[in-house]
Each structure stands twice: as C-alpha cells, then as structure tokens.
Amino acid sequence: MKLSIRSGLRRRDFVQWIGGAAFALPCLELFELQARAQTAKQARCAVFIYTNDGMHPPAFFPRTPDPTASPTLSPLAPFKSKVLLLGAPVGADGYPMANQGITYNMKPAQHRANICFTGSKVMLPLNGDQFNAVNRGDGPSIDFAIAQQVQKGVPPLLLAMHPIGGDTPSDVTYDLGGNPQTRLSTPMAISGAVFGGLGVGGAAGAAAAAAALKEQTAVSNFLTARFGTLRSQLSKTDQNVIDQHLAAVRTYETQRSSLLDMQMNPSTGCAAPSSAMVPTDAASTASGADTQFLSPFIMDTVALAFNCGQTKVATVSFGYPGGGGAGGLRMPWLGFSDAQHGVSHNNGDPVQAGKYAKMNQWTIGQVAYLMGQLAKIATAGGTLLDETVIYLVNRHGDGNLHTNHALPSILCGGAGGYFKMGVNMMLPTTSPTKVLISIAHAMGVPLASFGSGAFADTMPVPGIAA
C-alpha cells in the first residue's frame, strides 16, 4: 500500500483507522457474503436429505458423464450444472460394480438409518419396544456438528415426512451428546416452530428486528463517516480501496435492511408458506396421500428459513425404514398404493421394480423442487441456490439386496463454488464419512475427523473440491 506523499498519515495510523472502524462491527458476519466472494469458495447453507430403502440401481446410475442422464435423476436435468453424482462404474446389466462408489468401510448391521449422517459405530437396538427406547449414539450427526460452528450452536432445522413407523429405528439426527432428535412433521408444528416469531403474534421478533435495523444504521453511518474522513488523506489507489469497502458496506446494508424489514413485516416475505393443500385427516396420513403436498410445503419452509435468516442448516427425511413390506412411504398419486419398502424388495419383478423406480424419481423431483425455490431467491452473490449445498443419501445401495456399496449419493446446488459440479464422478471404494467431512469443509468447518470405530474418517473425498 502506498500512502499519499502529501499526507502525514503513516501506515500504522491507517491500520489504526481501519481497526477502529472494524471494532464498530457487531459481529464478523456483517460482511459474510462479501468476504466469502473475495476469499475462499464456501457454501452458506446446507440441506441434508435422508431417504430409505435404497434406489433401483439400473434406473439410478447413468453410464455417461452427465449426472442427470438416468430416469431417476432426470428431474434434476434443468440444474445439471449444479449436480454432482457420487457414482460408481456400471456393468452391462446396469448395476454398479461390487464395492465401488460410496461404500462403507465394513458392512454395518441392517436397518441402521442412524449411520447415514453420523458415521457412528453404535448398533441401535432392534426390539419390539424400540419406539420407547432411547436410541442413543456416541456423537453428533453432521448437521449438528456444522451448526455448532456456523450458527453458534443453534440446532439445525429438522423436518420429516412420516418419521416413525415400521419395525426398525429411524433416528437420523443426533445432538452433540449423541441424543436422537425429534423431527417436525406436521404443518402446524413446522409453521409454529420456524415462523412463530415472524408471523401473527410475533411482536417480540418484530421489535428485535427494529432494534437491529436501528443498530445497523448507526454502525453504517459511523463507518461511512470514518472512512470518508480517512479518504482525503490517501493516494488515488488507496482511495479506490476505501471506495470498494464503502460499496461493500452499502451492499450489505441494503440486503440486511431488506431482511430485517421482512422480519418486522412478515407479510412481505417471512411468513410461513401456505399449508392449505396439505391434508391432515387420518385417512390421508394412513394412505400416504398427504406426502404429495407435505413435501413441497417442507421444501418451501427450508428455502424461506434460509432466506429469512432462521437457520443455515436443515435436515429433511423421507419416511422410515419399515419392514416386512408393511412400512415406508406410500405414493398413491403415482397410481399404486404399495409401500416403498415392499417394492424395494422386488426380487427382480419388473412391475415392482418399475414402481420402485417411480417412487425414487418422485423423491428426486422434490430435490429439484427445492433447488427451484432456492434459485428464485436473489442474493448479493447470485441466488440462494448458488450458495447452498444439498446432500441426498440413502442407507442402502440396492434396497432389494440391502447392499452396502454404491450408495445413492448426490450433491446439489452451487455450494459457493466449493465442489466440482455438473459431473458423474465414478468413484472407487469411498467411505460415506468422507462425504460428510467434505460438506463440513464446504461450509467452512474444518473437521479433522468424524464418525467412530470402523466408520470414522479423517479426509474429504479425493478430488471433490473445485
């Protein structure tokens, strides 16, 4: 840096001026988006999606570099440049090669939904009283580990469609102590928990937003005056630096003011999405018909919660493992009422396998719907989709055989430019815990290790970063 020759201002003085201004910032998050754009590639938000019963491999895995070139993944085609398939080499029969792709280091016990986001060695009890048991783990799920850092310990948003049922444990989210966490699964509970402080009766939230806006205006005015005074004592080059900094302040102020205004006036954008289409009668819940409308409501909630600053981390789960053909999601709007668990064990029957593939495709379509909603939200760096990473994973590879290799795993969104998107990455044997570590790194959380026992790991997926 070269200071003006005509000025008596020394470099040390300049640093002191800058430091004085910096101390006016209420927190380092003030320039979060601008700083990220100018430094490391990093995601702002993360969504973890769990779906059970595997996928029908021939319909899921494409044989080309296009990560959306398969029937199951085709709903993601409009967002192909923001999809990374963590795939595997595929044989002539359409099935992935044994022990290729995302594969556990050792075969875990069956029906272990808890392992997907924890990499835990704990084998939960399988017994008739499992719904009254505390299926405790030995550490947090990845969403809690990330939330601990990026939102100062505030828990992630946990949402679900039909989170209980069947005959096996279906816990997927755990706090720092390894305690299983409840997922919100009804429109009323979700709206109240997520938007209660922003909707009708949210006077306290509105007052807090008004106070924050007042504080922000004072800070911004101070910074503008401080740097304005300093500007006249600098060279042209350094004046440009100051001008760029003030421009960043104004960009942030505009964006943050808009958000605070929404919080003060929920009708402008931070009210809960409408749940009028979601049936709540017992018959619709029993038949699974509610899921067709509950899922979009949940995805809308995630997008709005991100946009309104309610959370940066969310987890969504589809159904429960079920068992014996009786459990799992049902999708009667597809033209049949079979449970997903039942059609996953199709024994090669083409009719049942076709139903299985259609159900998988619908679920992927909900990921595409979420991406579309995030893409509609403009941010300083582009769209909220550009700044979000979405991870969908499944406990099994082929649900028919309960395989533990080639787990259906996709990363979606821009992830702040952190990942190599738009490709089908055909991986050799790769621990799923490496994917969890990779996502943490993308969110700016440099985990040194994650998981326990044989499922622990210390490294991200090789070659995954852009």
Cα atoms found within 13 Å of the Cα of residue 150, Cβ hemisphere only = 29
Return the top range by mean pLDDT from 6-10, 225-229, 450-454: 450-454
The answer on pLDDT for 23 being more than 70 is: no
Mean pLDDT (whole number) for 103-123:
88
The arrangement of strands across the sheet holding 83-87 comes to 157-161, 313-318, 45-51, 388-394, 409-412, 83-87, 423-426
**pLDDT tens column, 263-280:** 565 555 678 899 999 999
**pTM of the predicted model as reported, rounded to 2 decimal places:** 0.81
Residue 409's pLDDT is what? 97
Q: How far apart are CA 106 and CA 115, in angstroms?
A: 12
Residue 271's pLDDT is what? 80
Q: How far apart are CA 83 and CA 192, in angstroms?
A: 33
Pairing of strands 83-87, 423-426: parallel
Q: How far apart are CA 199 and CA 203, in angstroms?
A: 9
Under 8 Å between Cβ of 420 and 84? yes
Residue 230's pLDDT is what? 74
**pLDDT tens column, 192-229:** 998 875 543 345 556 766 777 777 777 777 777 777 77
Classify 237 in phi/psi space as left (phi over 0), alpha (psi -120 to 50) or beta: alpha
Mean pLDDT (whole number) for 449-462:
97
Task: Tell me the C-alpha to C-alpha distance, in Å, between residue 207 and each of 27, 203, 224, 260.
Answer: 20, 6, 26, 10
Which residue, chain included where needed, has tokens 């060279």? 235
The answer on pLDDT for 318 being more than 80 is: yes
The answer on pLDDT for 444 being more than 90 is: yes
Q: In terms of pLDDT, which residue wins out, 370 or 36?
A: 370
Q: In terms of pLDDT, which residue wins out, 138 or 204?
A: 138
Residue 233's pLDDT is what? 76
Residue 215's pLDDT is what? 79
Residue 426's pLDDT is what? 95
**How far from chain centre, in Å, is Cα 200?**
28
Whose CA is closest to 278, among 301, 296, 304, 300? 296
Residue 211's pLDDT is what? 77
Cβ-Cβ contacts under 8 Å for 97 (sequence gap 6 or more)? 88, 89, 90, 91, 406
Computed over every residue of the chain, the mean pLDDT equals 84
User: Range with the lowest mean pLDDT among 103-112, 120-129, 232-241?
Assistant: 120-129
Residue 196: count other Cβ atoms within 10 Å of its Cβ: 13
The answer on pLDDT for 16 being more than 60 is: no
Residue 225's pLDDT is what? 76
Identity of the amino acid at 173: T
Whose CA is closest to 272, among 295, 305, 296, 314? 305
For residue 6, count CB atoms less than 10 angstroms from its CB and return exposed for 0-12, middle for 13-18, buried for 19 or more. Answer: exposed
Cβ-Cβ contacts under 8 Å for 333 (sequence gap 6 or more)? 289, 292
Mean pLDDT (whole number) for 398-421:
95
Residue 262's pLDDT is what? 57
The answer on pLDDT for 454 being more than 70 is: yes
Residue 153's pLDDT is what? 87
Mean pLDDT (whole number) for 282-292:
92
The answer on pLDDT for 103 being more than 70 is: yes
Residues of the chain with pLDDT > 70, as a percent, come to 79
The answer on pLDDT for 252 being more than 60 is: no
Residue 218's pLDDT is what? 78
Pairing of strands 382-383, 378-379: antiparallel
